[in-house]
Amino acid sequence: MSTDTLEQENVQVKESEGLLSKRRKRIVSDPLNDDNPITVQVLGICSALAVTTQMKPTFVMSLSVIFVMVFSSLTISALRKLIPSRVRIIVQLAVIATLVALVDQVLKAYLYDVSKLLSVFVGLIITNCIVMGRLEAFAMGNKPYDSVLDALGSALGYSWIILAVAFFRELLGSAAIFGFKVFEAIGIDQFPTNGLMVTPVGAFFVLGLIIWVQRTKTGYVEH
């Protein structure tokens, strides 16, 4: 009898957990700052360096990563009890690769100019450690809804960092934001653009500064 009531209580607790309970809010908000995949876990760096020369391709890249992460987490989490553990990595890879190929096809059909700018980097989402890391660490052991929230959190954490990097790189390297010439608009015609910002080296500087500021604020120390 006593075990029955306990179980019922458990069920009660689960049912009463709101769509955005405190725990679930933390799942989404943690990767934005305290557990950011780029600045704290230092994952997904290569694409952060490569695609962030301009805001527009960076924005499209962010959307692509959000799409791939959310749907791969959803798929893997829904199938988690069916996936044989011996081939789980290859299953995860197959799902990610399929979604990435889909994104690539859609970009080629409707955003051809951006897909040319992003070139190989959309394909390289397959090897982005953030995607597979979250599948392996979270989606394999949690329910679909939680996994989607977790994926969304990590993808947004990735997105805001690369958008921030792209903002400074495009502003200082090309004197523009989303292709709009900001400095010309406010009357500075001869803004000296910084060629370094256009190269991947510039991304290292901006990223390093962001990491510095963030760790000073949160007090995070690497052990």
Is residue 91 a contact point for other proteins (CB under 8 A)?
yes
**Which residues make Cβ contacts (< 8 Å) with residue 130, sequence separation at least 6?**
37, 41, 43, 44, 65, 69, 154, 155, 158
Which string of x and - marks every residue 5-24 that binds other proteins (by CB under 8 A)? --------------------
Nearer to other proteins, 68 or 156 (CB): 68
Q: How far is the CB of 109 from other proteins (least distance, A)?
A: 4
Paired tokens of 213: 């500021």
Q: Is 23 exposed, middle or buried (0-12, 13-18, 19+ CB in 10 A)?
A: exposed
Element (H, E) at 163: helix 144-174
N-terminal to C-terminal alpha carbon distance within the chain:
48
**Of the candidate residues 28, 40, 50, 131, the single one contacting other proteins (CB under 8 A):** 50
Is residue 29 a contact point for other proteins (CB under 8 A)?
no
Residue 75 DSSP symbol: H
Nearer to other proteins, 157 or 202 (CB): 202
Of residues 92 through 121, those in contact with other proteins by CB under 8 A are 94-95, 98, 101-102, 105-106, 108-110, 112-113, 116, 119-120
Nearer to other proteins, 50 or 131 (CB): 50
Neighbours of 200 (CB within 10 A): 14
Paired tokens of 103: 């994104």
Taking contact as CB under 8 A, which single stretch among the options 10-18, 62-70, 81-89, 131-139 is the one that binds other proteins? 81-89
- Alpha carbons 156 and 66: distance in angstroms, whole number: 7
Nearer to other proteins, 153 or 173 (CB): 173
Site residues (vs other proteins, CB under 8 A): 50, 53, 82-87, 90-91, 94-95, 98, 101-102, 105-106, 108-110, 112-113, 116, 119-120, 198-200
